[in-house]
Amino acid sequence: QMPQLPGGGGQPAIVQAIKDRVTAVYEKTATKEAIPAGRVFVRFIVDTDGTVQDVKMVKGLLPAWDAAVVAAVQKLPRFEPGRQNGQAVAVDFTVPIEVRAKL
């Protein structure tokens, strides 16, 4: 069983939770650069206790935007951990995030 955010929803819910957080983080930390367009890939581990660990950009767009994506992932709520044979296991995620340009 894969890790789930509170409320479930699988990977689409994870992607949406990251998107919901990233714009707010970016707007607080970045200079007034336009939000880029493209796709980024962020990698992280959901540990056996449901915490997010080892967040890294696999493919980014702009340094400020990439930093905002990493910060957004780090702010995700605690997951329900993944399970294998009834035991909690760490699970490695690589998540694509579609970014639409905004000025």
Number of structural domains (the chain) is 1
- Tens of pLDDT along 45-99? 999 999 999 999 999 988 888 888 999 999 999 999 999 999 999 999 999 998 7
Q: Quote the radius of gyration of the chain (alpha carbons, Å).
A: 14
Question: Confidence band (pLDDT; 50, 70, 90) for 38?
Answer: confident
Q: Is residue 33 part of a domain?
A: yes
Q: What is the mean pLDDT of residues 18-42?
A: 76
Q: Is residue 32 part of a domain?
A: yes
Q: Is residue 48 part of a domain?
A: yes
Q: Is residue 36 part of a domain?
A: yes
> Tell me, what CATH number does 27's domain have?
3.30.1150
Q: Is residue 22 part of a domain?
A: yes
Q: Is residue 46 part of a domain?
A: yes
Q: Is residue 69 part of a domain?
A: yes
Rounded CA separation 33/79 (Å): 32
Domain containing residue 39: 10-99
Torsion of CA 91, 96, 102, 103, to 10 degrees: 80
Question: Confidence band (pLDDT; 50, 70, 90) for 42?
Answer: very high
Q: Is residue 4 part of a domain?
A: no
